[in-house]
């Protein structure tokens, strides 16, 4: 992973199981969001490869790539809602493009998706008229609109109060449990990591490498992972201090 | 969404109704796929339920349910709404756990009581009144902005204002030197067109030589300043509106405010002064290029010598013509800078508003350039200048 000649991260190798909540964690500036951009196809892979269902994503033709991307849902850091469209129109656009649903069905489904994220009644609001947390939830409703197989989250808890953050974590788990969706979450929020992650990887900005892969609840135990990972998971405290 | 891919041979989604005394059972089965074409309609199913009298309970069972996605949730939420409207109990316990969980989640937060966005019929008088109020507010905002700008310039002149000097020099460069190619090209072509049109008429009277007079006076007094103003409105005014508008959206203006640094001093005044200083130079440059364009027609079409054209140009133009054009350019520079900055500062907090701010800055600047040009001409005529 690189920006021009500047290498952000190298030697990354991991596998995500279907129906899993997979967390990419690491300190600020370690390349978490950049890795996400590679995973969703926003940045072309120059060295190495990404596989979905055993098929190469980076070597796929444009049509094949689009096909795979249609099975993705992405929640961007700030929601990334289209400012000229209402919340309902934001959620409806993928349905209008890629399904044969009638206008009435799209309206009903849009309303259902917004109610899943607690935004029923805000269908006609524009993104500029709602709070940051609501924008994020509306972004999630849009990401879920086509029932994606894989949902990617870029810092879902960033900028949210603890209660909203907890609710979002609950929603993520319900989506996993109810729909069997695979969730890939980029975050450095420890509470979220421990609450939702089945498996996590840690990216280290210093060595520019992935240090470890495993369940964060196990990784935090002494002797189970790299000291750097433990320090991160213990908010900078050493193992002794935390005792 | 166990799987949204409808595999070949997978049983199609179905909803079968069976009625027993006061209970209706809806047996759901098959593959429910949002992207598939065959799905049971809730209205058809509910019509069957409604056909039986005295139903007090609807039970949904999903023993034959294959893969499912939001299309099943949509179906069930419509059944749920219907049951609530008819005060009939709905039992979803015999469906897979995830289905009930998501329906419960959708109902967990009650619908927000938001003000309806669908405006009813609005009379013409109401619209006229709203337009008038809008125009009045816009005028007040513009007047306030000009006032604030004057106060800001006074603060800067007395050394009390904090100015971003780097921005000042950068604006001088961007609106001065970097604008030379486009201003030069447009002015040259304007002079050429003026001369060409004039030559067609004047040649009929054997007065082709006077093309030089017409081009010189027109460029110096009017066209040089106007064309420069229009180009700078589209080029620099729009950029000012977009730059400041983006800063507003990303709360950079608020950050200045909280540091007690006036955005007018820091962002607006440097731009206004830079453009006020550069525009007269650009206007004069435009005059020269326009005259050069006219000379091309004079030499090429009318076969006038370069010396004749030059003598005719110098003889027809007084210093007052050049000063008039230069002063106008300065005024137009202030108009372009003020409209661009004002639209940017009044920009709303979203990306679309930045585009609107840039568009309205250009339109408003061009309108005021033409209007102020007319006013200046009338005043000069009255003063016999």
pLDDT of residue A167: 82
How far apart are the C-alpha atoms of B191 and A77, rounded to whole Å? 53
For residue A196, give how far its alpha carbon lies from the nearest alpha carbon of chain B (Å): 17
Residue B122 lies in a domain: no
Residue A131 CB-density burial (10 A; 0-12 exposed, 13-18 middle, 19+ buried): exposed
DSSP lists the bridge partners of residue A200 as: A23, A214
Q: Tell me, what DSSP letter sits at residue B28?
A: E
* pLDDT tens digits, one per residue of B299-357: 998 899 999 999 999 999 889 999 999 999 999 999 999 999 999 999 887 778 899 99
Taking an 8 Å cut-off on Cβ atoms, the answer to whether B111 and A120 are in contact is: yes
B246 and B375 share one domain: yes
Residue ranges in chain A modelled with pLDDT below 50: 241-243
Residue B297 has pLDDT above 50, yes or no: yes
Predicted confidence band of residue B1 (pLDDT cuts 50, 70, 90): very low
Residues of B in contact with A70 (CB under 8 A): none
Best residue in B102, B110, B348, B356 for a mutation probing chain A (most A CBs within 10 Å)? B102
Taking an 8 Å cut-off on Cβ atoms, the answer to whether B109 and A83 are in contact is: no
Residue B114 lies in a domain: no
Predicted confidence band of residue B120 (pLDDT cuts 50, 70, 90): low
* pLDDT tens digits, one per residue of B212-225: 999 999 999 999 99
Residue B137 lies in a domain: no
Q: Which residue in A109, A125, A126 is closest to B70 by CB distance?
A: A109
For residue A59, give how far its alpha carbon lies from the nearest alpha carbon of chain B (Å): 23
Beta strands in chain A (DSSP E): 2-3, 6-7, 21-26, 51-52, 55-56, 72-75, 150-154, 182-186, 199-204, 209-214
B310 and B373 share one domain: yes
Residue B281 lies in a domain: yes
CA angle (B254, B257, B263) in 5-degree steps: 95
Residue B118 lies in a domain: no
Query: How many interchain CB pairs under 8 A, A with B?
Result: 95
Best residue in B92, B109, B347 for a mutation probing chain A (most A CBs within 10 Å)? B109
Is-contact B332 B225, C-beta < 8 A?
yes
pLDDT of residue A213: 87
pLDDT of residue B5: 41
Q: Which residue in B2, B116, B352 is closest to A84 by CB distance?
A: B352
Question: Three-state DSSP class for B54?
Answer: coil
B340: closest CA among B262, B270, B258, B261?
A: B270
How far apart are the C-alpha atoms of A165 and A189, rounded to whole Å? 10
B366 and B224 share one domain: yes
Residue B3 lies in a domain: no
B168 and B258 share one domain: yes
B95 and B159 share one domain: no
Using a CB–CB cut-off of 8 Å, the residues of B that contact A are 1-4, 34-35, 37, 69-70, 73-74, 77-78, 97-99, 101-102, 105-114, 116-118, 348-353
B179 and B75 share one domain: no
Q: Where are the domains of chain A?
A: 6-71+148-242, 82-143
B212 and B82 share one domain: no
Burial string for B56-86 (b: 16+ CB within 10 Å, else e) reads eebbbbbeebbbbbbbbbbbbbbbbebbeee
Residue B134 lies in a domain: no
Residue B9 has pLDDT above 80, yes or no: no
Is-contact A118 A64, C-beta < 8 A?
no
The rounded Cα B341 to chain-centroid distance in angstroms is: 14
Per DSSP, helices labelled H in B20-110 are 42-51, 70-85, 97-108
Count up the domains in chain B and report the number.
2
B259 and B188 share one domain: yes
B216 and B334 share one domain: yes
Architecture of domain A6-71+148-242: 3-Layer(aba) Sandwich (3.40)
Best residue in B251, B350, B355 for a mutation probing chain A (most A CBs within 10 Å)? B350
Q: ipTM of the assembly?
A: 0.78
B177 and B71 share one domain: no
Q: What is the pLDDT of chain B when averaged over all its residues?
A: 89
B154 and B271 share one domain: yes
Residues of B in contact with A148 (CB under 8 A): 1
How far apart are the C-alpha atoms of B258 and B347, rounded to whole Å? 19
* pLDDT tens digits, one per residue of A150-180: 999 998 888 788 888 888 888 888 878 888 8
Output the CA–CA distances (angstroms, integers) from residue B240 to B157, B213, B280, B348, in the order listed: 23, 37, 19, 15
A197: closest CA among A176, A178, A226, A221?
A: A176
Range of the domain at B342: 147-382
Residue B131 lies in a domain: no
């Amino acid at each position: 992973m690189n920006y021009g000649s500047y290498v952000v991260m190298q030697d990354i190798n991991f596998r995500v199981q279907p129906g899993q909540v997979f967390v990419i964690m690491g300190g600020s500036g370690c390349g978490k969001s950049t890795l996400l951009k590679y995973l969703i196809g926003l940045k072309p892979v120059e060295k190495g490869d990404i596989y979905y269902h055993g098929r190469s994503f980076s070597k796929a033709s444009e049509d094949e790539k689009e096909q795979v991307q249609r099975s993705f849902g992405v929640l961007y850091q700030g929601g990334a809602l289209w400012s000229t469209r209402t919340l309902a129109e934001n959620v409806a656009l993928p349905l209008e493009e890629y399904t044969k649903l009638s206008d009435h069905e799209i309206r009903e489904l849009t309303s259902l998706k917004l109610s899943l994220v607690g935004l029923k009644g805000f269908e006609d609001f524009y993104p500029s008229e709602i709070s940051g947390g609501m924008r994020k939830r509306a972004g999630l409703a849009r990401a879920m609109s086509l029932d994606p197989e894989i949902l990617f989250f870029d810092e879902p808890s960033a900028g949210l109060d603890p209660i909203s953050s907890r609710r979002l974590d609950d929603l993520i788990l319900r989506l996993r449990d109810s729909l069997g969706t695979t969730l890939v979450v980029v975050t450095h929020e420890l509470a979220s990591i421990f609450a939702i992650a089945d498996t996590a990887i840690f990216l280290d900005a210093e060595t520019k490498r992935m240090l470890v892969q495993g369940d964060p609840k196990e990784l935090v135990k002494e002797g189970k992972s790299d000291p750097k990972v433990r320090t991160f998971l213990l908010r900078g405290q050493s193992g002794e201090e935390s005792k | 969404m166990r799987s949204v891919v409808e595999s070949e041979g997978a049983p199609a989604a179905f909803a079968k109704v069976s009625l027993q005394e006061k209970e209706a059972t809806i047996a759901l089965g098959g593959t429910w796929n949002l992207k598939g074409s065959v799905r049971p309609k809730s209205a058809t199913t509910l019509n069957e339920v409604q056909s039986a009298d005295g139903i007090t309970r609807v039970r949904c069972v999903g023993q034959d349910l294959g893969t499912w996605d939001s299309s099943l949730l949509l179906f069930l939420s419509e059944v749920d709404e219907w049951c609530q409207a008819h005060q009939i109990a709905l039992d979803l316990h015999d469906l897979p756990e995830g289905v009930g969980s998501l329906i419960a989640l959708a109902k967990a937060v009650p619908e927000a009581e938001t003000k309806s966005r669908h405006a009813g019929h609005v009379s013409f008088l109401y619209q006229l009144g709203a337009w008038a109020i809008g125009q009045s507010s816009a005028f007040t905002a513009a007047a306030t902005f000009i006032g604030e700008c004057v106060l800001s310039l006074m603060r800067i002149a007395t050394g009390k204002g904090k100015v971003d000097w780097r921005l000042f020099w950068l604006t001088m460069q961007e609106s001065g030197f970097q604008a030379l190619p486009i201003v030069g090209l447009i002015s040259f072509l304007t002079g050429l067109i003026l001369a060409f049109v004039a030559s067609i008429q004047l040649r009929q009277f054997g007065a082709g030589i006077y093309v030089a007079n017409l081009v010189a006076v027109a460029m110096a007094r009017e066209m040089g300043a106007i064309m420069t103003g229009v180009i700078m409105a589209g080029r620099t005014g729009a950029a000012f509106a977009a730059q400041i508008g983006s800063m507003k959206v990303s709360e950079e203006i608020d950050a200045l405010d909280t540091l007690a640094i006036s955005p007018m001093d820091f962002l607006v005044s440097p731009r206004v002064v830079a453009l006020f200083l550069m525009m007269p130079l650009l206007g004069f440059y435009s005059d020269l290029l326009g005259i050069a364009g006219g000379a091309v027609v004079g030499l090429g079409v009318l076969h006038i010598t370069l010396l004749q054209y030059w003598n005719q140009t110098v003889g027809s133009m007084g210093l007052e013509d050049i000063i008039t054009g230069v002063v106008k350019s300065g005024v137009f520079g202030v108009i372009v800078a003020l409209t661009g900055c004002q639209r940017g500062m009044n920009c709303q907090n979203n990306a679309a508003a930045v585009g609107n701010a840039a568009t309205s800055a250009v339109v408003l600047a061009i309108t005021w350039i033409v209007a102020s040009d007319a006013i200046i001409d009338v005043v000069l005529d009255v003063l016999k200048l």
